[in-house]
C-alpha cells in the first residue's frame, strides 16, 4: 500500500516544500486535483505514518556542539560549512541556506496534522479502535518533533522564566497560509505534554516488537519521562519512567554481543522502545576524545562494543549505534529510561534506590562476574555518578546537548566547553546564548518571527 500511494504523498510533500520556499504559496492553486493530496482510508493514513520520513532524519545538529563528538583538524576540514560552524559554536550556522534541521521536523508535523484532521472523517465507516490508534500515533509523532525542535531552537527550560522565554512555532493544522509565531517555552512544553496525554489512552499497551517504528504506551511514557526530566519535574519524570518500564523494561546483557563486530547492535537491539534515526550530516566518523574513551574501565563491555581504537594514532571511532546502521540512534530505549529513573530517585533523596536502579543497568554492561555493585558507603556523590554513567551509556543518542542545556543551570554541573581547531581556541561557557541555534533566515524573513540571540 505504501508504494501504491507514494505518488500521492510525494505530492503532499511537494506542496509542503513549496510552502517553505515561497512562504505562503496558495495551496489550492498549487494542487491541480485536491483529492490526490488527501488520503481517504485507514490504510492510506497508516501508510502516511509509516513513511520512513516519520522516524528517520531527526535533527541532531546539537551533537556537533556537545562535548561528546571530537573532530580532528583533518576531518573537520572535510565537513560542510554548517557542520564546521556548529562544531565551534559559530553565531551563523545557516549561512543563508535552507536548514534540514528545521524543515524535516516540520514536515513530520505536517504529516501528523494531515492524519489528525483526516481520520475523524472516517469514523462512520471504520472502527473506533482503528481511528484511535492512528490519532495516538500521529499525536506522538507531532509531540516528538516539537520536542526535537524545542531542544535546538527554543530557549532552555528554566522554571523561573519559561512563561516568558521563546520556544518554537507550534503548527497545529495543515493550513499552509497560516503564519505561526513563536510560543513561549512553557506553552511549547505544555503542547508536547498535551499531545502525549491525549495519545496515551489511544495507543496499544503491547509494543509491536517486529516493527519498532510504531509507538506504544511504553514509548509515550518514555518520551514523557524525558520531557519531565528537562522540565526538572523529577516526581513526574520518575512516575513516567516507572510506568514505561512496567510496560516494557527489557535490558540486554552485553555479554551476549560480539565486540569484534563493526555493528554489534545489529539487528535492532531489544532495548529499543521506539526507533529513530538521526539526520546524516555527512562524513564525520563519530570520533571521541581519547581521554573520554579511557574513562571506560577494562571490565566495561561498552569499551569494545562502542568503540574501535587505533592505539598508534590515539584515534577512537564510535560504532555502537542502536540504530544498527552507521547513522546515530535518535529514538527511545529502556537503558535511557532506567537512567532517568535513577537520576530522579537521587534528586528526590532516594540514593539507595537510585544505586539499585543504576546497578541494574551496569550489571548488564560489564563482563560477567567482574562487576561490583555500587553501594552508598562507596559512593560519595550518587547523582554525579549517575550523570557520568548516563553520558557513557547514551553516547550519540542526541541527548548530550539537552543535558548540557539543563545541567548548566546547576553550578555543580556547569561546564565550559573548549575546542582547539587549527591552532585557534574556541569556547562556550555555561548558559551561553549559543546553546540555542539560530532559526533559518528564510523563516525569519517570510514569517516575521523573532530570531534567537547568538
CATH number at residue 343: 1.25.40.390
Grid cell listed for 231 = 522540565
Residue 130 within any structural domain of the chain: yes
Size (the chain), residues: 454
Mean pLDDT across 21-49: 59
pLDDT, position 97: 64
Q: How far is CA 123 from CA 134, 174, 188, 329, in A?
A: 12, 20, 30, 36
Distance CA 422, CA 114 (A): 48
The boundaries of the domain holding residue 162 are 6-60+75-259+329-426
Mean pLDDT across 38-44: 84
pLDDT, position 442: 86
pLDDT, position 157: 98
The conformation of residue 265, written as its DSSP 8-state character, comes to T
pLDDT, position 96: 60
Q: What are phi and psi of 138, to 5 degrees?
A: -65, -40
The conformation of residue 420, written as its DSSP 8-state character, comes to E
pLDDT, position 21: 36
Mean pLDDT across 185-203: 98
Ranked by mean pLDDT, which of 25-34, 84-93, 166-175 comes out on top? Answer: 166-175
Q: Find the range with the poorest average confidence among 38-47, 69-78, 257-266.
A: 38-47
**pLDDT class of 176 with cuts at 50, 70, 90:** confident
pLDDT, position 127: 81
Residue 411 within any structural domain of the chain: yes
pLDDT, position 279: 83
pLDDT, position 95: 63
Residue 405 has pLDDT above 60, yes or no: yes
Grid cell listed for 282 = 555527512
Mean pLDDT across 224-231: 98
Residue 70 has pLDDT above 70, yes or no: yes
Distance CA 67, CA 218 (A): 30
Residues whose CB is less than 8 angstroms from the CB of residue 124 and which lie 6 or more positions away in sequence, other chains included:
none
- Looking at the structure of the chain, the number of domains it has is 1
pLDDT, position 366: 98
Residues whose CB is less than 8 angstroms from the CB of residue 323 and which lie 6 or more positions away in sequence, other chains included:
268, 275, 276, 277, 278, 329, 330, 331
Residue 449 within any structural domain of the chain: no
Mean pLDDT across 245-270: 95
Distance CA 357, CA 342 (A): 6
Residues 353-374: tens digit of each pLDDT: 999 999 999 999 999 999 999 9
Grid cell listed for 120 = 475523524
Q: Please say whether the beta carbons of 321 and 333 come within 8 A.
A: no
Mean pLDDT across 235-243: 98
Please state, rounded to an integer, the average pLDDT across all residues of the chain: 89
Residue 282 has pLDDT above 50, yes or no: yes
Distance CA 240, CA 353 (A): 16
Residue 377 has pLDDT above 60, yes or no: yes
Query: Which residue did the predictor score with more confidence, 154 or 22?
Result: 154
Residue 202 within any structural domain of the chain: yes
Residue 320 within any structural domain of the chain: no
Residues 283-292: tens digit of each pLDDT: 677 899 999 9
* DSSP structure string for 381-407: -HHHHHHHHHHHHSTTSS-HHHHHHHH
Quote the radius of gyration of the chain (alpha carbons, Å): 22
Q: 268 in the Ramachandran plot: left (φ > 0), alpha (ψ -120 to 50) or beta?
A: beta
**pLDDT class of 40 with cuts at 50, 70, 90:** confident
Query: Which residue did the predictor score with more confidence, 312 or 100?
Result: 100
Order of all β-strands in the sheet with 287-288: 287-288, 315-318, 307-310
Report which secondary-structure segment, H or E, holds 132.
helix 128-153
Residue 292 within any structural domain of the chain: no
Residue 224 within any structural domain of the chain: yes
Residue 239 has pLDDT above 70, yes or no: yes
Residue 218 within any structural domain of the chain: yes
Amino acid at each position: 500500500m505504501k508504494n501504491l500511494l507514494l505518488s500521492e504523498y510525494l505530492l503532499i510533500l511537494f506542496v509542503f516544500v513549496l510552502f517553505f520556499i515561497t512562504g505562503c504559496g496558495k495551496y489550492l492553486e498549487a494542487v491541480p486535483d485536491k483529492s490526490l493530496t488527501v488520503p481517504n482510508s485507514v490504510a492510506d493514513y497508516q501508510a502516511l505514518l509509516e513513511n520512513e520520513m516519520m522516524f528517520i532524519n531527526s535533527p541532531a545538529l546539537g551533537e556537533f556542539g556537545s562535548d561528546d563528538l571530537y573532530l580532528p583538524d583533518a576531518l573537520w576540514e572535510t565537513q560542510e560549512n554548517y557542520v564546521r560552524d556548529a562544531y565551534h559554536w559559530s553565531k551563523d550556522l545557516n549561512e543563508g541556506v535552507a536548514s534540514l534541521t528545521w524543515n524535516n521536523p516540520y514536515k513530520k508535523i505536517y504529516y501528523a496534522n494531515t492524519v489528525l484532521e483526516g481520520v475523524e472523517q472516517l469514523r462512520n465507516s471504520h472502527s473506533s479502535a482503528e481511528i484511535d490508534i492512528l490519532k495516538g500515533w500521529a499525536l506522538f509523532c507531532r509531540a516528538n518533533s516539537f520536542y526535537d525542535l524545542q531542544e535546538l531552537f527554543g530557549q532552555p527550560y528554566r522554571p523561573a522564566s519559561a512563561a516568558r522565554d521563546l520556544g518554537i512555532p507550534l503548527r497545529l493544522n495543515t493550513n499552509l497560509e497560516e503564519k505561526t509565531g513563536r510560543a513561549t517555552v512553557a506553552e511549547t512544553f505544555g503542547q508536547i505534554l498535551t499531545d502525549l496525554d491525549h495519545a496515551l489512552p489511544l495507543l496499544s499497551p503491547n509494543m509491536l516488537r517486529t516493527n519498532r517504528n510504531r509507538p506504544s504506551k511504553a514509548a509515550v511514557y518514555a518520551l514523557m519521562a524525558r520531557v519531565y526530566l528537562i522540565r526538572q519535574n523529577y516526581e513526574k519524570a520518575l512516575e513516567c519512567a516507572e510506568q514505561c518500564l512496567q510496560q516494557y523494561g527489557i535490558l540486554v546483557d552485553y555479554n551476549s554481543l560480539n565486540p569484534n563486530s563493526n555493528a554489534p547492535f545489529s539487528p535492532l537491539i531489544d532495548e529499543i522502545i521506539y526507533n529513530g534515526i538521526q539526520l546524516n550530516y555527512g562524513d564525520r566518523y563519530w570520533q571521541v576524545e581519547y581521554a573520554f574513551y579511557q574513562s571506560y574501565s577494562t571490565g566495561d563491555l561498552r569499551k569494545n562494543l562502542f568503540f574501535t581504537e587505533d592505539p598508534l594514532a590515539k584515534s577512537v571511532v564510535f560504532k555502537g549505534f542502536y540504530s544498527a546502521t552507521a547513522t546515530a540512534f535518535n529514538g527511545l530505549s529502556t537503558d535511557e529510561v532506567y537512567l532517568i529513573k535513577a537520576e530522579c530517585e537521587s534528586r528526590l533523596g532516594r540514593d539507595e534506590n537510585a544505586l539499585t536502579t543504576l546497578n541494574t543497568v551496569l550489571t548488564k554492561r560489564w563482563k560477567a562476574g567482574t562487576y561490583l555493585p555500587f553501594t552508598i558507603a562507596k559512593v560519595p556523590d550518587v547523582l554525579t555518578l549517575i550523570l557520568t554513567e548516563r553520558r557513557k551509556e547514551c553516547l550519540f543518542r542526541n541527548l548530550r546537548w539537552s543535558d548540557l542545556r539543563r545541567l548548566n543551570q546547576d553550578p555543580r554541573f556547569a561546564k565550559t566547553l573548549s575546542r582547539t581547531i587549527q591552532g585557534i581556541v574556541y569556547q562556550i561557557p555555561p548558559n551561553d546564548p549559543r546553546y540555542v541555534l539560530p532559526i533559518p533566515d528564510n523563516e525569519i524573513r517570510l514569517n516575521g518571527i523573532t530570531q534567537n540571540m547568538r
